[in-house]
């Protein structure tokens, strides 16, 4: 975005780099909802008055996350794949196109340190591919790599159908029970999970409990800052979400 504030002190993560590459390819500047006015922080995409960069809670995890992003997704200020990359050190991000695939994505999927899981509802996959759990560390020398399709639902279905290089991997289908327990715990009424919430569920399944909780808390903090900025109100740095994030981040125990 032209006129964006470059903080310069934050190493751009995978989603940030994808966004820059996508912007460089744009013929015309992408217009975020809300219009062209207003400066945004390059580190968190929020207005400088609502910047989150100081709260970025990077965590070491056993699992990695591979985001396959629909074309325009990295450009949306509301995209939550960005938050996953803020928290999970081993986050990879690739733009998805039906006709071509990034060789770096194929190399990642073939890397023997990872066991990729395509996270998608089981009813769309052949039954023999569907799994509901992640192999525990003791039973697998490999680290789980959660492949998330970061897109609108119609786009995600198309991506799932038209990415033959994903066909050889198990499909991790989040059970209704896990989902409803999550809803209860988080008291969310939404029927739609955003990418950060799906990633948190996956991290939890993979045993990265602390990173999962951190991502949830960080997502809540982001949502607060985002909405307050939208309504031109200052963020409340002492609210429950900030306190939860601080409690998780402040204690220096291993994940
Ligand atoms: Zn920022």
The alpha carbon dihedral of 230, 236, 242, 246 has a sign of positive
pTM summary value: 0.87
For residue 201, what pLDDT is reported?
92
For residue 175, what pLDDT is reported?
72
Q: Tokens 């340190």 correspond to what residue?
A: 113
Q: For residue 122, report the distance from its CA to the centre of ligand 1, in Å.
A: 37
Q: For residue 42, report the distance from its CA to the centre of ligand 1, in Å.
A: 6
For residue 165, what pLDDT is reported?
97
Q: For residue 222, report the distance from its CA to the centre of ligand 1, in Å.
A: 11
Q: Where are the alpha helices (DSSP H) in the chain?
A: 14-25, 81-87, 103-110, 153-161, 176-186, 195-205, 209-230, 240-250
Q: Tokens 């006709």 correspond to what residue?
A: 99
Q: What is the pLDDT of residues 23-45, one digit of tens each?
A: 888 776 666 555 555 788 989 99
Q: For residue 40, report the distance from its CA to the centre of ligand 1, in Å.
A: 8
The Cα angle at residue 183 between residues 182 and 185, in degrees rounded to 5: 65
| Helices 195-205, 176-186: crossing angle, 10 deg rounding | 110
Q: For residue 6, report the distance from its CA to the centre of ligand 1, in Å.
A: 9
For residue 40, what pLDDT is reported?
87
Q: For residue 48, report the distance from its CA to the centre of ligand 1, in Å.
A: 6
Q: Are strands 130-131 and 64-69 parallel, antiparallel or unpaired?
A: unpaired
**Domain residue spans of the chain:** 62-175+192-209
Q: For residue 39, report the distance from its CA to the centre of ligand 1, in Å.
A: 11
For residue 157, what pLDDT is reported?
94
Note the Cα 28 to chain centre separation in Å. Answer: 26
Q: When comparing pLDDT for 31 and 220, which is higher?
A: 220
Q: For residue 45, report the distance from its CA to the centre of ligand 1, in Å.
A: 6
Alpha-carbon distance of 59 to 65, in angstroms, equals 13
Q: For residue 223, report the distance from its CA to the centre of ligand 1, in Å.
A: 14
pLDDT (average), residues 207-223? 94
**10 within 8 A of 46, measured Cβ to Cβ:** no
The answer on pLDDT for 167 being more than 60 is yes
The answer on pLDDT for 10 being more than 80 is no
Q: For residue 73, report the distance from its CA to the centre of ligand 1, in Å.
A: 19
For residue 6, what pLDDT is reported?
36
Nearest to 55 by CA among 69, 65, 41: 41
- Region class of 50: left (phi > 0), else alpha (psi between -120 and 50), else beta: alpha
Q: For residue 5, report the distance from its CA to the centre of ligand 1, in Å.
A: 9
Nearest to 82 by CA among 170, 6, 10: 10
pLDDT (average), residues 165-170? 97
Q: What is the pLDDT of residues 81-126, one digit of tens each?
A: 999 999 999 999 999 999 999 999 999 999 999 999 999 999 999 9
Q: For residue 19, report the distance from its CA to the centre of ligand 1, in Å.
A: 15
Report the percentage of the chain scoring pLDDT > 90.
68
Q: For residue 43, report the distance from its CA to the centre of ligand 1, in Å.
A: 4
Question: How many C-beta atoms surround the C-beta of residue 254 within 10 A?
Answer: 6
Alpha-carbon distance of 73 to 71, in angstroms, equals 6
Q: What is the DSSP string of 121-153?
A: -GGGS-GGGEESS---GGG-SSEEEEEEEES-H
Q: For residue 117, report the distance from its CA to the centre of ligand 1, in Å.
A: 31
The answer on pLDDT for 7 being more than 50 is no
The alpha carbon dihedral of 14, 90, 205, 139 has a sign of positive
Rg (CA), the chain: 18
Q: When comparing pLDDT for 146 and 183, which is higher?
A: 146
**Count of residues in the chain:** 255
Please identify every residue whose CB atom is under 5 Å from ligand 1, which is an ion.
Answer: 41, 43-44, 51, 53
pLDDT (average), residues 158-162? 96
For residue 95, what pLDDT is reported?
96
For residue 126, what pLDDT is reported?
94
pLDDT (average), residues 151-176? 92
Q: For residue 143, report the distance from its CA to the centre of ligand 1, in Å.
A: 31
Q: What is the pLDDT of residues 169-213, one digit of tens each?
A: 999 998 766 776 666 666 665 667 889 999 999 999 999 999 999
Question: How many C-beta atoms surround the C-beta of residue 46 within 10 A?
Answer: 20
Q: For residue 16, report the distance from its CA to the centre of ligand 1, in Å.
A: 12
């Amino acid at each position: 975005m032209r006129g964006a504030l470059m903080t310069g002190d934050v190493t751009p993560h995978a989603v940030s780099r994808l966004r820059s590459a996508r912007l460089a390819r744009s013929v015309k500047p992408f217009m975020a909802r809300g219009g062209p006015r207003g400066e945004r922080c390059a580190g968190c995409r929020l207005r400088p008055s609502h910047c989150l960069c100081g709260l970025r809670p990077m965590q070491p995890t056993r699992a990695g996350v591979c985001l396959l992003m629909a074309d325009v997704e990295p450009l949306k200020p509301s995209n939550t794949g960005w938050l996953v990359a803020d928290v999970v050190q081993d986050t990879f991000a690739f733009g998805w196109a039906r006709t071509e695939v990034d060789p770096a994505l194929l190399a990642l999927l073939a890397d023997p340190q990872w066991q990729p899981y395509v996270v998608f509802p089981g009813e769309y996959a052949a039954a023999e591919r569907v799994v509901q759990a992640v192999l525990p560390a003791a039973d697998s020398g490999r680290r789980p790599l959660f492949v998330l399709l970061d897109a609108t639902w119609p786009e995600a279905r198309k991506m799932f159908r038209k990415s033959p290089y994903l066909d050889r991997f198990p499909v991790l289908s989040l059970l209704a029970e896990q989902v409803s327990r999550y809803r209860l715990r988080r008291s969310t009424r939404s029927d739609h999970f955003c990418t950060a919430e799906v990633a948190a569920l996956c991290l939890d399944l993979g045993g990265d409990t602390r990173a999962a909780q951190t991502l949830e808390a960080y997502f809540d903090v982001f949502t607060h800052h985002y909405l307050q900025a939208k309504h031109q109100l200052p963020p409340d740095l002492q609210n429950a979400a900030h306190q939860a994030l601080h409690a998780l981040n402040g204690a220096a125990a291993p994940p």
